[in-house]
A and B are shown apart, each in its own frame.
Chain A
Amino acid sequence: MASAIINGMPVEITPGETILEAAKKLSVKIPVLCKHPDLDATAACGICVVKIKATGRTLRACCTPIDSGMDIVTEDAELVQVRREVLELIMSKHPNECVTCARNQNCELQTLCADFDIRHMELPSLVPDIAKDTSNGTIELDPRKCVTCGRCVQVCQEKQNVWALSFLDRGIDTRIAPAGDISMAESPCVSCGQCSAHCPTGAIVECDETQKVWDKLIDPDVVCVAQIAPAVRVALGEAFGFAPGTNVTGKIYASFRRMGFKAVFDTNYGADVTIMEEGTEFVERFAHGKGALPLITSCCPAWVDFMEKYHNDMIPHFSSCKSPHEMVGALTKTYWAEREKIDPKKIFVLSVMPCTAKKWEVRRSADMSSSGYQDVDVSITTRELARMIKQAGIDFATIPEAQPDHLLGAYTGAGTIFGATGGVMEAAIRSALFLITGKNAANPNFEFTRGLKGIKTGSMQVAGKEVRIAVAHGLGNVETVLDEIRKAKAEGKEPPWHFVEVMACPGGCVGGGGQPYGVTDELRLKRAKGLYQEDGATLWRCSHDNPYVQQLYKEYLGKPLSEKSHHLLHTHYVQRPTYRR
């Protein structure tokens, strides 16, 4: 095997490996700013410079393949000085506003400046005078804080295929913005928030809505209700020092109660209801020929927005189901309000989501006010909840676990795996099988739906018929799937699949745009593992076995796809222009 030397230590190398990757194997941490593990190196920042020992020639570790026999120095007085100068240059274009920045104490640039002892700003400040763009109400853009690393543009264009963000102008004037001096709200942006999850600084962050929640909590006339999404429970702990994937559900419930929420529900319950509705919808289409196949899932609002903008020929294939948190919101202000004899006007529903697009979804259309009031009042991200818990003076590490209110809070393992790519499909298969055959599967695990492969496919026999399934995550993977569906349609052939799941974010909601920072594939897998562990340990693995869901249909909705279900739990789709201007 080929080898090279880094800091005097021999290292075995593989073809194509970069200096950065090889150094990692020796526990040598070369500092980086523009390079993100999810993305190709662009060599934009220059922090990762290293030297060839013999010649002193400097190279960028992120993008230079390590060759056999190379002798590299990654740390010495001169390199430290070079990196400090690069940081000072970056800081000369960056506002010195750390204390009031959303990324304070969680910023890659701030961390580097601290590590490299940047204590003075010697260079004249050249911070550009560009206004903040808060127009879409989900993520906000502050181009002054941009270090033009290009991560957001790469994610938006290449990973997500959305093309809302672009690099405009050049040289010192280079800035990130939607094409042609329009606002984010007028751009094709679908609010997936992957730009904010990949930004190393505070240039793109979620629109903070925590104050709206505090204002309601202090109001004695308001009945505050909270719910958390599946993926939040295995990621929030990271903000409090827990290992990624640690399930902190009970601590979150306890925190809600301390903050003053009158009822604590769980979006996982809504996921179980979604499966009842969507599973039935699938059976109607598959077994009874009522509606277009494949059926495509609709739980992900960024995907819904993307479909309405870019792929609206797929509207007939879309499940009409609302997403789980919207179902919980609608049921809170109707079913629960009626049972508890509370005026729904007084109820405030907060949903905590791993997602920035949910902020858009809560006001997406009139269907989101099916209870007569906005069904979910405010949706905050996992990151916002972490801050609220800190503000509330809760010692999250030691707070004892609590239970949810079971009426809209008890859930099955099928509900919990909604938070990972393939999870909605796996949950739907479990219940669709039951709905068609009257029996639960002997083994409820459908492994082909799991993991981080961009497009996952599989098939199974159900009552003598083959059911073909596809799962895609990361919007950049969607087009391949849709094009195959279109091709079969145009040729008058059988659809390649009968049921398709799409989640906008790579890894699904566990890798959502509103999750704690620092996401990588390793982290996505750990968080997903936390969900599958909970699924494996639950009493009920299938949504239709949830006794509270059974009670809901018996007492209130009648049966899935009933008129009442349609009114409260389903929605419509419209064609939207990619550019509003």
Chain B
Amino acid sequence: MTTATTPNVQEDLQRIAKKWKDKPGSLIMVLHEVQERLGCVPRNVCLELAKLIDVPVARIYEVVTFYNYFKTEAPGKHILSVCTGTACHLKGASKVLESLSKELGIKEGESSADKEFHLQSVRCVGCCGMAPVVMVNGAIHGKLKPESSGKEIVAQYRGK
């Protein structure tokens, strides 16, 4: 059986559902609010939501898995967003990604087992002059050396 949601989460889900229930086509808005509140849209929440907003679980999952933005598992604490926009791409973004991936032992889109890090790629973050760039929890790390970037960035944030 799926684990039940806590009373606090229950209350929030009910509040969100009530707000959107009668507005047709609002599933995405509901999911946005849920992810904002919980950091992700896990399976047990999908089952709960289905009842609250009267939308089949299958439909909720179709939307959650279609959009990259929605996550079914909570991401790690530190979110590493590797920019793969044009400038960063030319300056070795794929090597930066590879380096981080090797350092953490995870693939793009995954979180480390200890839930300290989440690795993802994003398109241009608007700091092309500093390419290649990794954004960590919103802070920019630029002019990276692609091969050693993984070690350097992870060391700065591990345990913090």
Supposing A180-B46, A581-B1, A581-B2 touch, asked if A164 and B65 sit within 8 A by C-beta, the answer is no
Supposing A179-B46, A579-B47 touch, asked if A164 and B58 sit within 8 A by C-beta, the answer is yes
Tell me the residues in window 60-87 of chain B with beta carbons closer than 8 Å to chain A beta carbons.
Answer: 60-62, 65-66, 72
Using CB atoms, name the residue of chain A closest to B61.
Answer: A179
Supposing A169-B66, A170-B65 touch, asked if A163 and B47 sit within 8 A by C-beta, the answer is no
Interchain residue pairs with CB less than 8 A apart (15): A163-B56, A163-B58, A164-B58, A165-B58, A166-B61, A166-B62, A167-B62, A169-B66, A170-B66, A179-B46, A179-B58, A179-B62, A180-B46, A579-B47, A581-B1
B57:A163 contact, CB within 8 angstroms:
yes
Neighbouring A residues of B72 by C-beta, 8 Å: 180
The winner among B43, B57, B62 for most chain A CB atoms within 10 A is B57
Q: Is A246 located at the chain interface by the 8 A CB criterion?
A: no
Closest 8 CB pairs between A and B?
A: A179-B61, A166-B58, A163-B56, A163-B58, A179-B58, A168-B65, A170-B66, A179-B57
A163:B66 contact, CB within 8 angstroms:
no
Q: Is A18 located at the chain interface by the 8 A CB criterion?
A: no
In which size bucket is the chain A interface? 10 to 19
Shortest C-beta distance, A304 to chain B (Å), equals 21
Among B1, B2, B60, B66, point to the contact of A179 (Cβ < 8 A): B60
Using CB atoms, name the residue of chain B closest to A182.
Answer: B43
Q: Is B123 located at the chain interface by the 8 A CB criterion?
A: no
**Proximity string of chain B (1-34) to chain A, C-beta cutoff 8 Å, 1 when within and 0 when not:** 1100000000000000000000000000000000
A166:B59 contact, CB within 8 angstroms:
yes
User: Which residues of chain A have a CB within 8 Å of any CB of chain B?
Assistant: 157, 163-170, 178-180, 578-579, 581
Neighbouring B residues of A167 by C-beta, 8 Å: 62, 66
A178:B47 contact, CB within 8 angstroms:
no
In which size bucket is the chain B interface? 10 to 19
B61:A180 contact, CB within 8 angstroms:
yes
Give the complex CA separation of A374 and B56 in angstroms. 36
Neighbouring B residues of A166 by C-beta, 8 Å: 58-59, 61-62
The winner among B59, B60, B61, B65 for most chain A CB atoms within 10 A is B65
Using CB atoms, name the residue of chain A closest to B46.
Answer: A180
Using CB atoms, name the residue of chain B closest to A156.
Answer: B58
**Proximity string of chain B (90-125) to chain A, C-beta cutoff 8 Å, 1 when within and 0 when not:** 000000000000000000000000000000000000
Give the complex CA separation of A578 and B59 in angstroms. 15
Shortest C-beta distance, B37 to chain A (Å), equals 20
Give the complex CA separation of A268 and B49 in angstroms. 45
20 further contact pairs, Cβ within 8 A, besides A157-B58, A163-B56, A166-B59: A163-B57, A163-B59, A165-B58, A166-B58, A166-B61, A167-B66, A169-B65, A169-B66, A170-B65, A170-B66, A178-B58, A179-B57, A179-B62, A180-B43, A180-B61, A578-B57, A579-B2, A579-B47, A581-B1, A581-B2
Neighbouring A residues of B2 by C-beta, 8 Å: 579, 581
Neighbouring B residues of A163 by C-beta, 8 Å: 56-59
Give the complex CA separation of A581 and B2 in angstroms. 6
